Amino acid sequence: MKSKIFKIIGVLAIIGIGVFIYLWFMPHRNVQATKAFATVTATSLVHEFLTDKEKANAKYLDSDEGESKVLIITGKIAKISKDQLGQNVVLLKNTTEKMGASCTFTADTNNQVTNLKIGDAVKIKGVMRSGAEYDEDLDLIEHVIVEKSAIVN
């Protein structure tokens, strides 16, 4: 009886390890090879989220499959910075607006930012992770978050 239980536990452990290895080494989504869902300006994207968050979430963020929409976002560069991992982050927004789209580049596309300057008009393709939010009480701004970004010609 004990040997049967140990065999079952061993088989379940092997299956669990196999599933873990499969998920760990599963290829990541190639955002740049994926066709863009839409081309939008950073300003209009922010306004969509501020006007009707639920509708914008349903349109751009995929909660079922976990693969949000790939977008091409156009706008003027307001800020260029680096995140904690050393990846370049480009903020697209109008000078008159408080909020914009924060686009984080990858290790493969980081070098595309070297020749960019504040004020340049660009098109950036990436996958959207969260929408814009504004808290009036705290005057807290959250930009649209775009990851795995790259410059589009």
pLDDT, position 67: 67
- Tell me which of 48 and 136 has the higher pLDDT: 48
Q: Got the DSSP string for 49-94? A: HHH-HHHHHHHH--TTTS-PPEEEEEEEEEEEEE-TTS-EEEEE--
Query: Token pair for residue 139?
Result: 């005057």
Q: Give the pLDDT confidence of 118-135 residue by residue, as tens digits.
A: 999 999 999 888 887 877
Residue 15 has pLDDT above 80, yes or no: yes
pTM over 0.95: no
Of 127, 129, 134, nearest in space to 144 by CA: 129
Residue 68 CB neighbour total at 10 angstroms:
21
What pLDDT is stored for residue 143 in this prediction? Answer: 85
Domains in the chain with CATH codes: 38-151 (2.40.50.140)
- Segment 52-95, tens digit of pLDDT: 988 888 888 876 555 688 899 999 999 999 988 889 999 998 87
Largest CA distance in the chain: 75
Q: Are 119 and 92 in contact (CB under 8 A)?
A: no
Number of H helices, E strands in the chain: 3, 8
